[in-house]
Structure 1
Amino acid sequence: MKANHDLVEDIRDYWSWRSATFDLAFGHRIAPGPEAHAWAQPMRDHIGPAPARVLELACGTGEVTQLVHDLGHDVTALDFSEAMLAVARTKHAGKPRLRFLHADAGRTMEPDASYDAVLCRHLVWTLVDPEAAFADWFRILRPGGRLLIYDGNWARPARSGRLAAWILAQWERLSPDPHYDAAMGERHGDIMRRLPFGDGLTLERLEPMLAAAGFHGLQHIPHDPIARAQRRTNGWRNRLRTRVYDRFILLARKPG
């Protein structure tokens, strides 16, 4: 296995390479309307009244950034890929209450107790040192602050998703989707095999680690409203993709 330093650089290079077409792969762009509303609802319910100081980790091309910023919060959007940040900055040029930060989500270097909320989408499974990252996120939250995680188990289909996965595999064989291939190809697989959560990110693994970092009051938030909204705005291939993996939303709190 390569050293973590090499893995971090491989992750940075891979997502930088994908930045120009990232929004074209299913699950990355958030369609306006029902899907955007569904993604934003947990933020409305749990971040607290605006304006809160919110740190978005691994902001990528700035899709989630738009949702949390539109709720009226003061947002810092962080990513360690300069190529991803360039796309996000272009999308959000000139907006007030928004700054972009080139930094590592696993070691933010932000001041202690400086944020009311931290949120991330599809980041946790990529962490090379999750325990250190969770401790860092706990440190930068103010007492009573919230951590909101959107993620899933991308290592294997859910039991209920195996048929959908099989149908999609045949579909891809007959009519390849180039953007999906980029998202789930060999380079992606090589990175996943070397990650701590490479064999699967589950709530059963994640929750004790967050508790060990000091978080409490862990709460599961249904992901189904997002999947249902995605099925309303996508074709059949992407509708099937909403059924393959176990996806979840988790809220944790810093005591205060």
Structure 2
Amino acid sequence: MTTHAARANMNLRDEIQAYWSKRAETFDSQPGHEIFSEEERAAWHALLRRHLGDGAGRAALDLACGTAVVSHLLDDLGFEVTGMDWAEPMLERARAKAAKRGRRIRFYLGDAENTLEPDASYDVITNRHLVWTLVDPLAAFREWHRLLKPGGKLLVVDGDFVNAGPIAKAARALSAWLVRLGLGSSGPVNGPVTGEMAATHQSILSRVYFSEGARADAVVALLKEAGFSRVTLDTDMRAIHRTQRKNFSFLKGLERATQHRYAISAQK
């Protein structure tokens, strides 16, 4: 358990790092994080191809790679992949997964907002569910712009996990009511994050830049301010959500499918 004194000596970035280090224990068991079917894998491949094309040996940096789910998708498509994460326990699992599959993916410990990588060193940069956690997204976007080669592409996959629409609110309320009656399972749509971990998640969410929700239009505006061009918003995540729904209860699947989720591609 994290004591009050320990928390007092940690800044927000430290707390984020510690939180995701702890989440590594169960990350791959959670639908929406790991891929649980070939149909879902194909849906992700289609999304990546739609915005990035096939790899053809191009250099890709997967920021906040976690256990390397997206890194392996990029590897499948022929990219030369580097995965970076701030949580060593995530990277341990990422390296083990690559070794098991016999894949040559480079992994290293680093900060997505200050990567220390050379200028113009990547053709493609990706991240999934990173932007909502950023303390200074404009600085991060400028860093990512610096890392890309001229003509290189960025793909952000994220969402607003704060502001639920009316359908999501109704599904969440009904799910909670069923839990109280003993007719449903507890835990949020992304997996079993409860108790102290849930409180930590909420505390972090309340203090990051997008504490009021990472709406796509706000992300697009910051990407343009950071120097990106040809910024394209893609909200068609239906194929991915359809395959993921098999691993959620009906109500949690409905909640997820009606959240404000998106992919944003941008070019240097």
TM-score by length of 1: 0.91
Q: Report the counterpart of residue 162 of structure 2 in structure 1.
A: 155
Q: Report the counterpart of residue 39 of structure 1 in structure 2.
A: 44
Distance in 2 (alpha carbons) for counterparts of 1:107 and 1:52: 22
Query: Secondary structure of the equivalent of 1:219?
Result: strand
- Contact 1:55-1:78 within 8 A present in 2 as well: yes
1:245 shift after superposition: 1.8
Query: Secondary structure of the equivalent of 1:217?
Result: strand
Q: Report the counterpart of residue 245 of structure 1 in structure 2.
A: 259
Change (3 A) 1:135 1:172: farther
Amino acid in the other structure paired with 1:47: L
**Residue 63, structure 1, aligned to residue 69, structure 2:** yes
Alignment of 1:225-240 (within 5 A): 225-232=239-246, 234-240=248-254
**Residue 139, structure 1, aligned to residue 151, structure 2:** no
Q: In structure 2, which of residues 94, 97, 100 is the aligned counterpart of residue 88 of structure 1?
A: 94
Amino acid in the other structure paired with 2:163: R
Amino acid in the other structure paired with 2:231: L
**Residue 22, structure 1, aligned to residue 35, structure 2:** no
Q: For structure 2, list consecutive stretches of 5 or more residues without a partner in the other structure.
A: 1-6
Change (3 A) 1:208 1:181: same
Which sits farther off after the overlay, 229-238 or 88-97? 229-238
Distance in 2 (alpha carbons) for counterparts of 1:19 and 1:172: 26
Distance in 2 (alpha carbons) for counterparts of 1:38 and 1:80: 27
Q: Report the counterpart of residue 121 of structure 2 in structure 1.
A: 114
Amino acid in the other structure paired with 2:107: F
Which sits farther off after the overlay, 79-88 or 96-105? 96-105
Distance in 1 (alpha carbons) for counterparts of 2:82 and 2:13: 22
1:236 shift after superposition: 2.6
Amino acid in the other structure paired with 2:237: H
Which sits farther off after the overlay, 92-101 or 189-198? 92-101
Q: Report the counterpart of residue 201 of structure 1 in structure 2.
A: 214
- Contact 2:169-2:255 within 8 A present in 1 as well: no
Q: In structure 1, which of residues 176, 181, 189 is the aligned counterpart of residue 186 of structure 2?
A: 176
Which sits farther off after the overlay, 62-71 or 91-100? 91-100
Q: Report the counterpart of residue 166 of structure 1 in structure 2.
A: 173
Query: Secondary structure of the equivalent of 2:193?
Result: helix
Which sits farther off after the overlay, 176-185 or 30-39? 176-185
- Contact 2:62-2:83 within 8 A present in 1 as well: yes
Which sits farther off after the overlay, 42-51 or 19-28? 42-51
Change (3 A) 1:243 1:45: closer
- Contact 1:165-1:244 within 8 A present in 2 as well: no
- Contact 2:172-2:251 within 8 A present in 1 as well: no
| RMSD value, Cα | 2.3
Which sits farther off after the overlay, 138-147 or 232-241? 232-241
Q: For structure 1, list consecutive stretches of 5 or more residues without a partner in the other structure.
A: none
- Contact 1:61-1:84 within 8 A present in 2 as well: yes
Amino acid in the other structure paired with 2:75: H
1:63 shift after superposition: 1.2
Give the number of equivalent residue pairs.
253
Amino acid in the other structure paired with 2:155: L
Change (3 A) 1:96 1:61: closer
Distance in 2 (alpha carbons) for counterparts of 1:201 and 1:20: 26
TM-score by length of 2: 0.87
Runs of 4+ in 1 over 6 A off after TM superposition: none
